[in-house]
Each structure stands twice: as structure tokens, then as C-alpha cells.
Structure 1
């Protein structure tokens, strides 16, 4: 048994450690370079948010579809395909000459978000025939998530340092090279498990949801060009109408993309809504944080004036605060209750972002505010999937946990689009009166107010929700599923755990 356990850890898991480490690098590497990218593409800082919006939108749709496709045709095949797509997109990012091409490449890079659920499924398939298969799966998942976290911290620091040494195109090639290495490792070291599942992909629901989200996002993107027009209003209304159609269709579908019946549970829907509101800050606000830190105060009168290297320290500290929040969630919840921890964590997020409105003049001020928000964010990302699992029927705990992350991603996508509009509203000017590429100060205040406000609204939902949603031991669920480690978000396009699912039992068909 010891020999087989070593083989599992040193073979498949060892290869997947490389994949998740690269995933972490992708999520942290680019953030300190956002301002440099904006100058290279000759766009305003506000337009950086459209990168985030496009990638989050794609990941919110692609992850559940690709995860299901992995069950049907093989997890290794889908993992390799997603690695190839991510590699191509990463090289395209390094050499894209125009804003539209860069946004397209950035969105396609978002296929990496499916790596974690596929990797967990591969580990489970390899370990399921062994007596301690569940324990091996949890251990393997924990190992690869540690690699994800380490990669994110390393990526944030490396991106900032290399951005100040190498030409921008060369610095942007580094993640692409690492993805290429991960692809080679998977092809050479990860065998096909041979496991295949039955069922179909909900193509009708996926198509309706895709068109609905594209209509809303397309309408918001037109604001960047022409402001609020009749076309903008029409597209947003069409998108909202299609979301209503999506709900009706999913309620009548045997294997829906989103289980609407379960979502209607009074114990579950407040958790899912809270996750969507939380996505506004944890996924939508990372671009504005980076560009504000890089804005030169001698030019426009606000910002921290950091270079890519020093900005990476701010991002790295924020990531560490997220890890701290996730790590302490289970311990604190045993001393109080998961519900109180969730409420307190939402309060920390709201406090941190609202405090930025008056306290944003120095590095220490911004760092202090972001650490407060980061600790709360880490606890929320660890706690929300566990709370959803406790509120769902026993046979749907994994789906419920994944649903919170899907709505979080959608919330982040819409927030990124809204923040792009906010930062472009109100022209930033230099000391000489010339127009600046920096986002407007009124826009940054709006971003912080929206992030803080949505956190407080989420806290109100948590106060009002039925206590039965937390009747199960959330900290035990967290320990079993590895959610604190697996759920830690990293500043960047999206969190890779957008569709984390608990491993199925051996009796459950794949």
C-alpha cells in the first residue's frame, strides 16, 4: 500500500502539481503588468477591466461544460485540449498588436480554469480502486492546491520583477512557455484513466445562457464607445429576457446545466446570491487595484506611483491575506458558528473596500485596507461552498458547491464591465490639463463603494437566511472537501476553482 501511495503521489499527482503551479502563475503573473500592457496597447487603464470581463464570462460558461465533457470523453483528453488552447492564447497575448486581438486572446486563455476540477477527477479515478481511495484523493487534491497557491504568489512576484527587466513581449512569453512545459508533462506522465460516464451536455441551456450573457456584456461594452444609447438598453433587456427563458428551460431539462429546482430552496438561494455579490469584489476589483497602484500621483494627483516590482509586493500581500482568511475559517467557526464567521467575513470585505475611499493616499493605507478585505475574502471563498453543501440535498452537495463558484464568476464578469465604465467616466487630467490614460478618481471611488456596498448587502442576506443552511458542520465539510485550499482565489482573470466538485463515491456512476 505504501508503494502504491508513493506511486500515485510521485507519478500522476506529481505531474498535476506542475499543471496547478502553472495555473497559479497565470492567475498572479499579469496583475502587476496591467498598466504596462495598457500603455503598450495605447488604451486607458479603465479598458483593462474588459480583459477581466471577457475571460470571466467565458470561464463561467466553459467550466461546467468542459467538466461534464471530461466525464464523457475522458478527463485527460479534455485537460490536454484545454492546455493546448491556453498555450496558444498565452503566446497570442504576448504578441497581440491591437486591443480587440488582445481581449480575444485573454478570453481564450480562460480555458485554464477547468484544470483543477479535471485534475481532481483524474486523481480520484486513479485512486478509486484502492481501499483508501477517498483519503488519497483528498491528499492529492490538497497537494496540487498548495502548488496552485505557491504558483500564484510566485507569479505575482515574478511578473513584477521580470516586467522591470525584460521587454514587455518577452515578459509576457514567460507564462506561455510554462504552459508549454505543463502540456509536455501531462502528455508524458498522465495516463488515460479509462473512465467514461453517460449522459449528455445541456446544449440548449448552454446556448441560451451564452447568448444571454453575451447580450448583456455586449450592451455594456457599447457604453465604452457611444455611451448609454437605445441599442445598449435594448441589448441588456434582451439578455435579461433570455435569462428568464433560461430559467424556464432548465426547470424542464432532465440533466440541466443549472439545477433550478434545487436553486429555489430557501436555504440555498441566499448562499448563491451572496456568492454572486461576493464575486463583484473578489474577481472584479483586481484590475482596478493594480492600475491604481501604478498610477503616478505627480501626474494626476492620485495613485501610488508604484512600478511593476513594488506593485507585485502589494498583490503578493493581498494573496497571503486571502490564504490567511481561508486557513482560519474552519478554526474560528468551531469556536463560534459558520454563520457568524460568514457574516463577519462579509463585514471585513465591506470595511476594507469602503475604508479605501478615505484612506488611499499611501502604500501603507492601501495595503492595510486590502489585507482587511483579503482576510474576509479568503474566509468567504472557503465558507460559501461548504454552506451551500450543507443547504443542499446529500446527493447534490458537489453541484451546490460548484454553483456558488459559477455565480461568483458571473458576478465578477459583470462587475468588471461595470468598473470599466465607471473608471472611464470623468476624464483624468494631468497637471498641465492634458487628458490622461489613468482611470478617473471618481471611478476608483465608485469601484470601492460598489465592492464595499455589495459585501454589506451580502451580509444582510446572511443575517436573513434560514439557519438550516448552516445546520451541517461547515468546518467538517471544509476539511473533507479541501475547500479552504481549493477555494482560494488569486488576483487575476478568474479563480480556477469556478466549478470545484467533490469526488464522487465509488458507487456513483461517472
Structure 2
């Protein structure tokens, strides 16, 4: 028996998941205003902050496919509980170390929270299977979850920015850790499990192969950061990591129950979505640290930057996140008027235009905020749209995997961008306009960040032209189900 789509139905599907995403948002926004303070605490260069982000994102890329598959097999709530426990342990370790190596390890492990949103979207998709307008329900739920995420990010950014100006860093870092502990109990007692699980066994060989490939790829990027872009061995290790994806793909094609059904990348609807997610990850994940460090850089000393305090930096982030909430909530409304595909294209264009506007307009506080509003509108729509689109276009038994893949590919894109941006900001940092302490990133590096983020978003908009016109709609879902029955 089907049910009519309503706010009440949607609220019943979302339940306590909004608090989970609020916590995720706090983790994503809280630390950003204090990244410069963290760098000084650990005794590292501003450019090295990108390695915190890059390492966390790469570990997340390994975790998401495994947890997404395990969610389909054994229950999405179960995987939410486990990932939250790991995130809580890592978050509690951050305040109690001043070693860069230990801080880096804990920061990376904290990245387990990245699996929350795809698991939640898969859970919602599973629980709404008997409801009328399933795709609309999932899109609306995704919009509400992303709105909760960004509300958490705003709260985290504002609170973090205010506290870092008044309290010791150790005390400040303890606040989000305690929130994650609360989140663990909210999931444990408040979230209901998926009604159906697929069972089976985890493809450990596939997981091992893709892990080795990603570790080799990341290792190559690390060598590029340490030795510079002219090092041929670093490029060789990067190429090895890419080449190792071939045996992984061949194994997955032969496996009866693969970790990742690589055939989904050949789908006319899913393929461009995954590529868009990767390109989008460059800006939404890779550009966070450079934005914060650029704002904190003193223009009187270095000749560029805004010279903002921690709280003033958090205000920039807060306005950006309000724009993301607006974009996430507008996505289901606009997609019903224009189709999801066209809405995704518009969102990608907004991200591209917003970042390219940084090239002429970056010297004033108001200019930076204006650019970030444009970027935020497009980014919010994409964060909500990509997992929902993947869920609606995926095979019924691969919902968690498909939504997880959008995050995996996005985090790989963000990890690559973080490494590349770290290289760009570090090399040339001893040029003109840089103080003797050599802790600020180079201005040419910031220009590189803005160009790369803008161009990749525009490329994503072009890729979406190749998606079928009625993709991600209930019409497409009905046609796919009819084809499978035939």
C-alpha cells in the first residue's frame, strides 16, 4: 500500500538522523576557523594543514565503500553505530596530543563520519520503498539532512571561532568530541534499522586491492609534496596507484557479490553523477583549508589575505553555510520544476562561477563573502542531490553502495585536491611578499586553488549534459523496475 508524500511522512522517515547530520556538520565547520592556530600548536606550515584534510579524505575514501556495502548486507543503522564509535574515539584523542604524527592519525580516523550521510540516504530509500513518490521523498529528506548538516557546520564554525579567541586549544578541541559521544547514543536508541538487508559476505579481496591502489596513489602525492613536482619517482608511484585500479576492476567484474559493482560507472545515469561527485569534491572538500588560511593571512605582512580573527573567519564560513542550506532546501523544489538533471547542472555552474570570481575579487571581506554565497548555493544543492540521485538510479540491491560511491569519489577528489593545493601553496612560499617565518601559503598557490575549483565545477556541468533527460525521477525508476521484471 502506498502513502502520499507529506511533511509528516518525511519527518517519520528522517527521524533522529537530522541530529546525526547536525553533529557531522559541527565536525566539518568547527575546526576550520582555528586551522591556523592548530598549525602553530603543532609547529607546522600553513600549507601542511592540507595534509590533515587530504589524509582524512583518503582514509574516508577507503572506509565508505566497505561500510556502504556492509550497510546493505547487515543494516545501515549498525554501520552508523560502529562508525560513530570510531569517530568519537578519534575526536577524544585530538585534544591530548601536540605531536603532528599522532594528531594526523587521529584526524584521519575521525573521518569515519563521512559514511553517515550515504548510510542515512540508503536507509531512507529502503524505508520509503512502499511510499508513493519515492524519489521525491528521498530528495526532500536529503535536503532536510543537508540543511541539518549545514546548520551544524554554521554552529560549529561560529562557536569554534568564538572559543578559539578566548580559551586554550586543548579545551576548544574537546567540545566536538563530547558531541560525537552524545550522537552515538542518539543513533543507538533513536534510529530504526533498515527493513531489508541483502546478507552475503564482504568482498575482502576487492577491499584489499582498492586499498592498496589508493594508498599507493596517496603515497605518490605525498612524495610530490615532499620532493616537489619535478621528482619522477613520485609521479611513478602516482601512476602505479592508478594502474592498480585495473586488477581491482577485473576482480570486481568477476565477483558474484562485488564490493563495488564497477558496471555502475558505465551507467548513463550513474557514471556522470560519480564523475560530478569527484570534481565537486575538489572544491567542497579540498578548498576548505585554503579558504580559512587565506582569510587569516595578514595583508600588511604578506601583501594578500584578509587578516581576520578566528571569529571573523567563522562568519565567512557561516554565511557560506547558510547559502548551502538554502541551496539544499531549494534543490527538490527547483528539480520538480526543471528536472533533477538541469538542477544539478545549474548548481555546478554556480560553484564554478563563484570560485572564478575570486580571481578579480578577493581583496575585501565583502568580496570574499559574495563569492562564497554563490558557491554555497550551488554546493548545497549538489551535496543534497548527488546521493539522492545515485539512490534513485542504482540497482535495488546496491543502494548503499551507490550512495556511498558518491561520497567515496567525492572524498578522493577532495583528497587529491588537498594534496595538490598543499603543493601549490607551499612551493613558492618563500617568494616576495612572504615574511621571514615562512608560515603563510603563496599567493600564486591561492590563485591555483580558485582556478582549479572553478574549472572542475564547470567541467562537471558539461558532463551532466550526457545524463538522460528524465534521470533521477520516478518515471525513470518505474521504467527501470519494469525493465528488470521483463
With the length of structure 1 as denominator, give the TM-score of the two structures.
Answer: 0.81
CA contact (8 A) 1:80 1:186 kept: yes
- The 2-side partners of 1:456 and 1:289 are apart by 20
CA contact (8 A) 2:165 2:310 kept: yes
Bigger mean CA offset, 156-165 vs 226-235 = 226-235
- The 2-side partners of 1:213 and 1:36 are apart by 30
1:379 matched to which residue of 2? Answer: 381
1:180 aligns with 2:181: yes
Residue-pair matches, total:
472
Q: Give the alignment of 1:63-462 within 5 angstroms.
A: 63-119=64-120, 146-187=147-188, 197-227=198-228, 228-385=230-387, 387-388=389-390, 399-428=401-430, 434-462=436-464
Classify the secondary structure of the residue corresponding to 1:65: helix
- The 1-side partners of 2:391 and 2:233 are apart by 41
Classify the secondary structure of the residue corresponding to 2:447: helix
CA contact (8 A) 2:302 2:435 kept: no
Classify the secondary structure of the residue corresponding to 1:411: helix
- The 1-side partners of 2:407 and 2:122 are apart by 18
Kindly state the Cα deviation for residue 428 of structure 1 after the two structures are TM-superposed.
4.3
- The 2-side partners of 1:196 and 1:335 are apart by 34
CA contact (8 A) 2:29 2:154 kept: yes
- The 2-side partners of 1:263 and 1:339 are apart by 17
Name the CA shift for 1:449/1:409 in 2 (closer, same or farther; >3 Å): same
Name the CA shift for 1:38/1:212 in 2 (closer, same or farther; >3 Å): same
1:470 matched to which residue of 2? Answer: 469
- The 1-side partners of 2:309 and 2:301 are apart by 14
| CA deviation profile, 1:229-259 (whole Å, cap 9, x unmatched) | 2431221121011012222221112122222
CA contact (8 A) 2:327 2:377 kept: yes
Kindly state the Cα deviation for residue 322 of structure 1 after the two structures are TM-superposed.
1.4
Kindly state the Cα deviation for residue 10 of structure 1 after the two structures are TM-superposed.
11
Name the CA shift for 1:331/1:444 in 2 (closer, same or farther; >3 Å): same
- The 2-side partners of 1:345 and 1:10 are apart by 26
CA contact (8 A) 2:74 2:199 kept: no
2:4 matched to which residue of 1? Answer: none
CA contact (8 A) 1:391 1:470 kept: no
CA contact (8 A) 1:11 1:189 kept: no
Bigger mean CA offset, 21-30 vs 160-169 = 21-30
Bigger mean CA offset, 148-157 vs 113-122 = 113-122
- The 2-side partners of 1:144 and 1:449 are apart by 30
Bigger mean CA offset, 343-352 vs 277-286 = 343-352
CA contact (8 A) 2:426 2:442 kept: yes
- The 1-side partners of 2:275 and 2:385 are apart by 14
Bigger mean CA offset, 51-60 vs 229-238 = 229-238
CA contact (8 A) 1:429 1:436 kept: no
Unpaired stretches in structure 1, ≥5 consecutive residues? 1-7, 481-510
CA contact (8 A) 2:285 2:411 kept: yes
Kindly state the Cα deviation for residue 387 of structure 1 after the two structures are TM-superposed.
4.9
Name the CA shift for 1:323/1:77 in 2 (closer, same or farther; >3 Å): closer
Q: CA RMSD in A?
A: 3.7
Kindly state the Cα deviation for residue 430 of structure 1 after the two structures are TM-superposed.
8.0
Classify the secondary structure of the residue corresponding to 1:437: coil
- The 1-side partners of 2:196 and 2:403 are apart by 23
Kindly state the Cα deviation for residue 187 of structure 1 after the two structures are TM-superposed.
4.8
1:61 matched to which residue of 2? Answer: 62
With the length of structure 2 as denominator, give the TM-score of the two structures.
Answer: 0.85
Name the CA shift for 1:274/1:197 in 2 (closer, same or farther; >3 Å): closer
CA contact (8 A) 1:352 1:372 kept: yes
Unpaired stretches in structure 2, ≥5 consecutive residues? 1-8, 478-486
Kindly state the Cα deviation for residue 395 of structure 1 after the two structures are TM-superposed.
6.6
CA contact (8 A) 2:69 2:401 kept: no
CA contact (8 A) 1:219 1:236 kept: yes
Classify the secondary structure of the residue corresponding to 1:359: coil
1:28 matched to which residue of 2? Answer: 29
